Amino acid sequence: MRISQSATLAGFRRSVFSLSPVLVLALLASFSAPASAAKKIIFDTNPGTDDALALMLALNSPELDVRAITVVPGNVTAAMGLENALRMVSLANRCDIPVARGAQHPLFQKLITAEFWHGKNGLADIELPASKCKVDSRFGPDVIIQLVHASPHEITLLPVGPLTNIALAVEKDPSIVPLVKEVILMGGSISGGNVNAAAEANIYNDPEAAQIVFQAGWPLTMVGLEVGDQALFTHKYLDQLGQTHGQINDFIYSVLKFLLNLSGTFGAPGSPMYDPSAVAVAVDSTLVKVQEMAQCKSLRRC
């Protein structure tokens, strides 16, 4: 495979080193309001247990200003994911953030959900109170398009699920591509998958959407499986988290306890922090080392 280094191909970076779970824990415990200079993000998500951790991390990181949450199916159905997103935003007392319904299925593939990993309700079987927040009436990809045009060169897209909504936004309005500040996504792998030997779940669930997003030509940082696998959340950190209490804290504690028990059944020493790692990179890009890689305009020309 030939790797080109032209200017338009230089934006695709991959993360190769882990971040500290201690820092993730510290950020999870931070509850400051967004600062005015905070990075504007659109959080595209399929909640989902690690999506829940990532969302709470984003909402409670003063470095980030969550402008919208768009929901995509993947870990759970679109309807369940939307309900979960609304309940979590309500728990965080952030009904000011638009939560929009997105795609209902992958572009071409059959939807494959993963309740076995995320619990029957997608949130570790934790029943959050009914949401006091209302769903935004707009279609998720339209929210992305509108917000990017409203704040050109300022919006960071932060997808932590299949890339269906992002791809739909690009297909509907390609003019957003040069107006997006950057894309930081959780997905992909360079050393082996978690669905099969090669594929990571977010990419596997909608590979056509992933191709559109990876080839769009915008600056893109892929926070792949390797990063989350090195950012292991262990019982030691859970014990630390359990020493403080609050609605969000207790919810996060229960999700992490569920994930640690699940990881334990596979003999793993801790639970990988996949989606939270992408948020952490958005908070502080120096947490990881990245390697510039070629971004192919066409798979046949790579």
Residues forming contacts to Ca ion in the complex (CB under 5 A) are: 46, 48, 51, 160-161, 275
Q: What residue ranges in the chain does DSSP mark as E strands?
A: 12-15, 39-45, 64-71, 99-101, 136-139, 155-159, 182-186, 220-223, 232-233, 271-272, 290-293
Q: Toward Ca ion, which CB reaches closer, 81 or 296?
A: 81
Q: Characterise 69 by phi-psi region: left (phi > 0), alpha (psi -120 to 50), beta (else).
A: beta
Q: Toward Ca ion, which CB reaches closer, 252 or 296?
A: 252
Q: Toward Ca ion, which CB reaches closer, 85 or 160?
A: 160
Least distance from Ca ion to the Cβ atom of residue 28, Å: 17
What is the amino acid identity at position 247? Q
How far apart, in Å, are the Cα atoms of 218 and each of 7, 166, 270, 271?
11, 12, 34, 31
Least distance from Ca ion to the Cβ atom of residue 274, Å: 7
Least distance from Ca ion to the Cβ atom of residue 75, Å: 6
Q: Toward Ca ion, which CB reaches closer, 123 or 296?
A: 123
Least distance from Ca ion to the Cβ atom of residue 258, Å: 15
Least distance from Ca ion to the Cβ atom of residue 63, Å: 21
Both structure tokens of 161: 């699920």
Cα 240 from Cα 38, distance rounded (Å):
28
Helix then strand then coil, in percent of the chain rounded to 5, is: 40, 15, 40
Cα 252 from Cα 103, distance rounded (Å):
27
Q: Toward Ca ion, which CB reaches closer, 157 or 296?
A: 157
